[in-house]
Structure 1
Amino acid sequence: MLFMDVSTWDPSNRDKILEHFKKLEIPEGIDVINQWIDLSGNRYYILYEAESAEAYGAFNLPWSDICVIDSVPVMEASEFMQLLPKYQKKT
């Protein structure tokens, strides 16, 4: 499943965040598609695929002490549009 995470942190945690990034190892079961840094400050965006809840937890939990992660399951719009007819109410 694809996830788009937005991580935010207090400016006072900047050095801790940088240390985490230097030591970052992507766990098995996570495929990072792309990532972006907010140039105006204290936000990080990442799009990745997680094979399981265990991989998802291994990827996000080590950061939970220094930042807030808003994680959203996503899919491409074209893929969603193909699913839509299955779930539309019939009148």
Structure 2
Amino acid sequence: MLFMDISTWEPHDRDEILKHFKELKVPEGIKIKNQWVDLTGGRYFILYEAESAEAVAAFNLPWSDICLIESIPVMETGEFMSLMSKYK
């Protein structure tokens, strides 16, 4: 399943966030598709595929002490439209 996470942090936590990024280890069951940083600061977006809820938890838990993570399950538009056409 695909997830889009939006992580936000306070400006005073910037150095700790950078340290976390340098030490980032992607757990088994997570495949990062792409990631972006808000150029105005304080936000990070990541699109990834997760094999299980346990993998999502293992990926996000190490960040929970310094940032707020909004995790949103997503689907590509074409796939969604195909799925929805079955319910018309």
- Which bracket does the TM-score occupy, shorter chain normalised? over 0.9
Instruction: Tell me if 1:41 matches 2:41.
Output: yes
Matches within 5 A, 1:15-54: 15-54=15-54
Shift of 1:87: 2.8
Shift of 1:10: 0.4
Q: Which amino acid aligns with 1:43?
A: R
Secondary structure of the corresponding residue to residue 41 of structure 2: coil
> Larger Rg: 1 or 2?
1
Q: Which amino acid aligns with 1:87?
A: Y
The alignment-based identity, stated in percent, is 69
> What is the alpha-carbon distance in structure 2 between the residues aligned to residue 26 and residue 51 of structure 1?
13
Shift of 1:85: 2.3
Instruction: Tell me if 1:75 matches 2:70.
Output: no
Q: Which amino acid aligns with 1:68?
A: L
Tell me the equivalent position of 1:64: 64
Q: Which amino acid aligns with 1:36?
A: W
> What is the alpha-carbon distance in structure 2 between the residues aligned to residue 22 and residue 41 of structure 1?
17
Shift of 1:24: 0.3
> What is the alpha-carbon distance in structure 1 between the residues aligned to residue 66 and residue 5 of structure 2?
15
Q: Write out per-residue CA displacement over residues 21-77 of structure 1, whole angstroms, 9 at most, x where no aligned residue.
A: 110000000000000011011100000000001100000011001000111100100
Count of aligned positions:
88
Tell me the equivalent position of 1:2: 2
Q: Which amino acid aligns with 1:38?
A: D
CA RMSD in angstroms comes to 0.7
Q: Which amino acid aligns with 1:60?
A: N
User: Which TM-score applies when normalising by structure 1?
Assistant: 0.93
